[in-house]
């Protein structure tokens, strides 16, 4: 029998942003406690067990997954202001300049920081890191509130 097994790990962090040119309340500076779930699957076709798999029965060690995702996403963004460098909103540029002047945590991105765009960016970065390990990121879910999320699937 050919069985595939996946593992999942959750991450949380807090981050602020604003949505330039947005008509609703999210045009204002605001923050979220983000939660992200990543699901990984090995690319080999054999049964994952403790008899012949090079990972000793694991898709990937959870601590290794934690290190990869923290290095690529969480540690960079936790308690930062996410700044869209191509924003047409003068206020967003002013806020970013002020934060930079006062040596506050600021992360520049080249896309509008919506949950959908963030999830897509995180998916690409994490999946690229996992490919050489023969592991696929099957799904990434990014919650920006307890009831609202974006999902990316392979």
DSSP state of 120: H
Could you confirm whether 39 is annotated as catalytic?
no
* pLDDT computed for residue 2 by the predictor: 59
Question: With 90 as the cut, is the pLDDT of residue 43 above it?
Answer: no
**No. of H helices and E strands in the chain?**
4, 6
In the set 41, 79, 90, 92, the catalytic residue is 79
Identify the band that residue 136 occupies on the pLDDT scale cut at 50, 70 and 90: very high
Q: Please give the mean pLDDT across all residues of the chain.
A: 91
Which residues have a Cβ under 8 Å from the Cβ of 131 and sit 6 or more positions away?
none
Residue among 46, 42, 43, 77 nearest 61 (CA)? 42
Question: With 70 as the cut, is the pLDDT of residue 50 above it?
Answer: no
Please state which of the ranges 30-39, 40-49, 91-100 shows the lowest mean pLDDT.
40-49
Cβ 145 vs Cβ 34: under 8 Å: no
Question: With 60 as the cut, is the pLDDT of residue 1 above it?
Answer: no
Handedness of CA 88, 90, 92, 94 (dihedral sign): positive
In the set 17, 41, 92, 144, the catalytic residue is 144
In angstroms, the CA 112 to CA 21 distance is: 10
In the set 17, 26, 39, 93, the catalytic residue is 26
Could you confirm whether 22 is annotated as catalytic?
no
* pLDDT computed for residue 3 by the predictor: 66
* pLDDT computed for residue 134 by the predictor: 87
Could you confirm whether 56 is annotated as catalytic?
no
């Amino acid at each position: 029998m050919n069985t595939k097994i996946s593992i999942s790990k959750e991450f949380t962090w807090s981050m602020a942003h604003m949505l330039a040119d947005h008509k609703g309340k999210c045009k204002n500076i605001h923050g979220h406690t983000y939660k992200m779930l990543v699901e990984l699957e090995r690319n080999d076709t054999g049964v994952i067990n403790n008899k012949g798999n090079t990972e000793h029965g694991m898709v990937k060690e959870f601590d290794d997954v934690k290190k990869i995702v923290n290095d690529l996403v969480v540690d960079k963004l936790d308690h930062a202001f996410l700044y869209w460098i191509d924003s047409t909103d003068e206020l967003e540029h002013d806020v970013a300049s002020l934060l930079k002047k006062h040596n506050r945590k600021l992360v520049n991105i080249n896309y509008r920081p919506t949950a959908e765009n963030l999830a897509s960016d995180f998916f690409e970065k994490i999946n690229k890191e996992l490919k050489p390990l023969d592991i696929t990121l099957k799904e990434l879910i990014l919650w920006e509130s307890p009831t609202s999320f974006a999902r990316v699937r392979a």
